[in-house]
Structure 1
Amino acid sequence: MDSKEALVALNMIEHVGPVRMRQLLEQFGDAPSILRASKQHLLRVRGIGEETAEAIGSWEKSVDLSGELKRIQEFGCHILTQTDKEYPDLLRQIYDPPIVLYIKGELTAKDKNAIAMVGSRLTTHYGSETARKLAYQLAYVGVTMVSGGARGIDTAAHQGALSAKGRTAAVLGNGINIVFPPENAELFQRIAANGAVMTQFPFNRKADKQSFPIRNRIVAGMTLGTVVIEANLTSGALITAGMAIDNGRQLFAVPGRIDSP
C-alpha cells in the first residue's frame, strides 16, 4: 500500500478528519504507518481517544479500500493529496485542508486565480442573471469560478463561466458519483471538461446537514475571495462567507434590487 492509497483509506474512516490526521502524521510520519500502528500507540497521540483508535486499528473491517480504488479508476476520476502539486495552494493554507480530494477533470495553475460565488438555491431572476453575468465577466478575463453544485446561484455561476469558455469548479457535498440535483448531470459533465468536479467525500456518500458546511470550507478555502448573491441570514452561503473572512480572504456582496422585500 502506498501513501496515497493509505490516505484514501484514512479518509474513509468515520472518526478521522483533517485535524486528527495532522496530529497522526506528526506522530507516525506517513499514512501507511498510521494504519499499521497498534491501538496502544494510537492512544498516545494527542486528540485520539478510544473510539478513534479502535476505528483506525480495525479499519480493514469497515473500509473497502480495494473497492474504492476500483471505483476511482472506473469512474475516471483521480485523487489529489496535499503533497501533489495540483492540490490548490490556497486550500493548503486553511486550518483543516481535506486529506484527499476526488477530482473529475483537472485543476491547473490557472486556478490559483479563483473566486467563489455562492447564494440562494431559491434565487430570483435578478439573482440568477446577475450571477451569470458576473461569472461570465470574471471567467472571460481568466478567473476560475468556484461554487457548489446546487440549484440557484451555484448553477448560474457555472453556466456563466462556461458561456465565456472559461474555467469553473464545482465542489460537492456528497460522493463524486452522486449527481445532486439530478437535473445538473449534463452541467457537471461540462464542468469536468472545462475545469473540475470535486469533493472530499468517498464514493456513495450522500449529502446531509453536516456535509454541506464541510464542503463550504473548500469553496472558501481554495479561492481568493467569495461573492455572495441573495443569501438569507441562515443560509449556507453566509457560512461560506464567514469562512472566507476567517481565512483572511476577500468578501463581496451583490446589492439586492431596491424593490426587493
Structure 2
Amino acid sequence: MTRAEACLILNMVDHIGPVTVRRLSERFGSPEAILEAPERDLRTVNGVGREMARAIARWREEIPWQEEIENARAAGLILLCAEEPGYPTLLKQIHDPPLVLYARGRPTDGEKNSLAIVGARHPSHYGMEIARRFGFQFANIGMTVVSGLAAGIDTAAHRGCLQAKGRTVAVLGFGFDYLPKADNARLADEIVAGGGLLLSEFPMKKKPDRQTFPMRNRIASGMSLGTLVVEAGAASGALITANFASEQGRQVFAVPGRIDQPNFIGCHTLIQTGAKLVRCVEDVLDEFEMLLPRGPDRAKEAERADATPKVSLKLTETERRVFEAIGREETPIDAVMSAGDLPPSVISATLMVLEMKKLIRQLPGKLYVRLAEIGENRE
C-alpha cells in the first residue's frame, strides 16, 4: 500500500481529521502503520475513542477505497498527499493540512507564489470589477490566484486571472462527483483548460454542507502567501477565510468600500483590526518584497494592462451629458434623470444608445455603470 492510498483511506473514515491522524502517526510511525494497528492500541492515543478506533480498525470492511481510487482515476484526478511534489508547499505548514488532495488539472511545484482572493457571493458591480481587475493584475505579474469557485467575488477573481492567461486554483467545498451539479461547472472546465487546477480534500461523493465550506476556506488561505478580501458583509464566509489566514500566520488584506454599504462592513472591520488596506497591486506586493523580487515598474505595467478602455467615439451633446452623469460605480436611474434639463423620454432613449455603443451597462435595480472612457470628440 502506498502512502497516498493510506492517507485516502484515513480521509474516508468518519470523524477523523488531520490533527488526529498526526497524533496517530507519531504513535505508530506512519499512516500505513495506523491501518495495521490493533483497535486496543489505537484507543491509547489521545483523542481516539472507542468508536473512532473501531472505525479505523474495520477499514477493510467499511471503506470502499479501491472503488474510490478507480472513480478518481476515471474522472481524470490525481491524488496528492503531503509527500507528493504537487502538494502545495505552504499548505504543509498549517496546523491541519489535508491528508489527501484530489486534483484535476496541472499541479506545479508547490504553488509557492499564490494569493487568495475572496469575498461576497452577491457583491456590487464595484466589488465584481475590483475582484476581476486584481485577478487579472496579479496573474499578469506571475502570481497564482486562489479562490473558491463560488458565485460573486470568487468567480470574478478566477475570470480576471483567465483573461490575463494566468494560473488560477479553485478549491472546492465538495467532492468531485458533485461538480457537474455546481453553478460554476463551466468555469471549472475553463480553469483546467487554461492550465489551472481544481482541488478538493473531500471524497468523491461528498456533498456540500455547512462544514465543508469552512474546511475549504482553510485550504485557500493555507496554500497562499496572503488573503485579499474584496467585499464582505458582517457575516460573510470570506471573514472565515481571513481568520484562518491570520491564525496560519499569513497576511490579510482588505479592499475598502463605501461606509454606508452593509456589504463592506466585514472589510472595514478587518482593516480596523489590522488587515492592510489595499488600493492597488503594489499595496500587496510591498508585503512580499523578499519573497517576490520584482522590477520597479512591474506592478504599474500590470495595472496599465488592465486599465479602463478608452474609445474614440463621437457623441452628441445629449449623449455626452447622459454619459457624464454615470460613474464607475453604480449610478441610480434617479441620479441620471436629474442630470441636465433633459426630458425623461430623451434620457431613456439615450441610455439605450449608450448601451448599444458599449459605453455603459444597466445593472439590476435600475442602476447604471460606466464601462469605458471617451475622448473629447462630440458632434
Q: Unpaired segments of 5 or more residues in structure 1?
A: none
Q: Deviations over 1:95-154 (max 9, x none)?
A: 000000000012213721000011000111111111001110000110100000110001
Which residue of 2 is the match for residue 203 of structure 1?
Answer: 204
Matched residues in 2 for 1:213 and 1:50: separation? 27
Matched residues in 1 for 2:181 and 2:32: separation? 36
- How far apart are 1:15 and its partner, in Å? 2.0
Distance 1:180 1:122, change over 3 A: farther
TM-score (norm 2): 0.67
Which residue of 2 is the match for residue 112 of structure 1?
Answer: 112
TM-score (norm 1): 0.96
Which residue of 2 is the match for residue 4 of structure 1?
Answer: 4
Q: Report the 3-state secondary structure (helix = DSSP H, G, I; strand = E; otherwise coil) of the residue aligned with 1:150.
A: coil
Which residue of 2 is the match for residue 53 of structure 1?
Answer: 53
Matched residues in 1 for 2:95 and 2:15: separation? 18
> Counterparts in 2 of 1:1-261, with a 5 A limit?
1-109=1-109, 111-179=111-179, 182-193=182-193, 194-257=195-258, 260=261
CA contact (8 A) 2:188 2:198 kept: yes
Bigger Rg, structure 1 or 2: 2
% identity of equivalent residues: 49
Counterpart of 2:238 in structure 1: which amino acid? A
Over the aligned positions, Cα root-mean-square deviation in angstroms equals: 1.4
Moved more, 23-32 or 197-206: 23-32
Counterpart of 2:224 in structure 1: which amino acid? T
Distance 1:16 1:258, change over 3 A: closer
- How far apart are 1:257 and its partner, in Å? 3.6
Matched residues in 2 for 1:123 and 1:180: separation? 24
CA contact (8 A) 1:151 1:181 kept: no
CA contact (8 A) 1:111 1:143 kept: no
Matched residues in 2 for 1:106 and 1:30: separation? 28
4+ residue runs of structure 1 moved beyond 6 angstroms? none
CA contact (8 A) 1:174 1:211 kept: yes
- How far apart are 1:34 and its partner, in Å? 1.1
Q: Unpaired segments of 5 or more residues in structure 2?
A: 263-379
Matched residues in 2 for 1:8 and 1:171: separation? 18
Distance 1:110 1:2, change over 3 A: closer
Q: Report the 3-state secondary structure (helix = DSSP H, G, I; strand = E; otherwise coil) of the residue aligned with 2:178.
A: coil
CA contact (8 A) 1:81 1:100 kept: yes
CA contact (8 A) 2:221 2:244 kept: yes
- How far apart are 1:67 and its partner, in Å? 0.7
Matched residues in 1 for 2:147 and 2:242: separation? 12
Counterpart of 1:218 in structure 2: which amino acid? I
CA contact (8 A) 1:149 1:180 kept: no
Counterpart of 2:229 in structure 1: which amino acid? V
- How far apart are 1:180 and its partner, in Å? 7.0
- Whose RCO is larger (CA < 8 A, sep 6+)? 1
Distance 1:180 1:250, change over 3 A: farther
Counterpart of 2:179 in structure 1: which amino acid? V
Matched residues in 1 for 2:110 and 2:22: separation? 28
- How far apart are 1:36 and its partner, in Å? 1.5
Q: Report the 3-state secondary structure (helix = DSSP H, G, I; strand = E; otherwise coil) of the residue aligned with 1:179.
A: helix
Q: Number of matched residues?
A: 261
- How far apart are 1:259 and its partner, in Å? 6.3
Counterpart of 1:225 in structure 2: which amino acid? G
